[in-house]
Every structure is written in C-alpha cells, then in structure tokens.
Amino acid sequence: MAKILSVTVKSATVRLFDPLIRALLRVGVTANVVTVIGTLGVGVGALGFATRGHLVAAVVIVTLSALTDVIDGALARAQHKTGKFGALLDSTMDRIADGMVFASLAYFYRDETPTLVAVLICLVAGQVVSYVKARAEGLGLDANVGLVERAERLISIGVGALLTAAGVGWGLPAALWLLAAGSIFTIGQRMVQAARSDRLQAAAQPAAGSQDAA
C-alpha cells in the first residue's frame, strides 16, 4: 500500500511541478544540480529542527526540498540521461540529507535521553535499511520490501513535528519511537526477503544445470 501511495504521490508531484520542470529544461539546469540543491535545502530546514520554536518552518522547508527528489528524476528522463552517476548521486545525497535531519533532532533532544535514544536508533537503522537493499541488489538478491522507507521516515517526522509545534509535546517523541521500531522491522523484512531470494536462486541452479547437461 505504501508503494502504491508513493507512486501516486510522485505522479501527482510531477504534474504539479511540470511548469517548473519545463522552465528548468529551457535554461539547461541538470538533474544533478537539482539533486544537490534539494540536499542543501534539507540542510537549511534541518537547522530549524535544532531550534525550538521553528518546527513548522523546518517541516515546510524539508518537505519542499525533498520534493526535488521527484523533480530531478523527471528532469533526467526529459533530458534523456542514460548514465548511472545520477542515480548514485541521488542516493548519496538522500543519505546525507537524512543524516542532517536526524543530527539536528539529536541536538534538539540532547537533554531528553529517551527521545535522544530514539533519534539515534532512527539515524542508524535508516541508513541500514537503505544499505541492506543496495547490498542485496549488488549481490543479485531481491530485498525490495519494507514497511518504512525514506518517504515514510520524512512523513513521520513531519507529522510528529507539527503535533509538537501545536502544543502536543509528546507528538515528535512518539513519532520517533514508532519510526525507530518500524525501521528495525524493515531491516528484518529485507534480510528475510534477501535470504528467501538466495534460497530460491540456489534451488534453481541445479535444475538449470541438469537442463543444460540434457
């Protein structure tokens, strides 16, 4: 369901920003430039998380900056970019952006140990979630499952931050603990899926070898 929602949101975002995408094409702005600008924007928004009283501004800036993740993909397709470096840059910038957000939240909750622990779990687990999938795919295994991916992480933080900004003090801490649990669960999901994929491939190899011999 999350993947279906993600695809729907991406399609709607591309349509919404179509005039901007066309303008960027006309002036020759590349997808890689948009990717880097988006990451810098997330960094600016992350500073708002580190400062009490600026949670709403932080959510708005991070959300708008994260939307460049959709825009750069549409731009690359429109520019008929076939190289693989753009995908590497995009993934790298995503990890940096996530790190900046959680680092700022760690500073925000530096004097509240239970919530700080949740932030640190989210920081580490979020990176591992992405790593497991990338490493599995590099080994030829399938790990394309997951309850909590990058979109869900940003949405959870955004909703929690808005609740806290509205006076519900436990909103963001609760969102972070739920996100921490979901991220750990997602790591398990992907490891199980990769193990299942490995077993299926191993079982198929003898059969393939027998057919070749015949």
CA dihedral 140, 198, 190, 192 (to 10 degrees): 180
Would residue 167 be called left, alpha or beta, if left means φ above 0 and alpha means ψ between -120 and 50 degrees? left
Longest dimension (CA), the chain: 72
Q: Count the Cβ atoms, other than its own, within 10 Å of residue 113.
A: 9
Taking the C-alpha atoms of residue 159 and residue 165, their distance in angstroms, rounded to an integer, is 10
CB 136 within 8 A of CB 189: no
Q: Are 49 and 105 in contact (CB under 8 A)?
A: yes
CA dist 172 and 155 (Å) reads 11
The position carrying tokens 């988006």 is 38
Instruction: Tell me whether residue 98 is one of the annotated catalytic residues.
Output: no
**Degrees to nearest 5, angle at CA 64 with 58 and 65:** 85
- The burial class, CB within 10 Å (0-12 / 13-18 / 19+), for 10 is middle
69, 72, 90, 94: the catalytic one is: 94
Residues classed as catalytic:
94
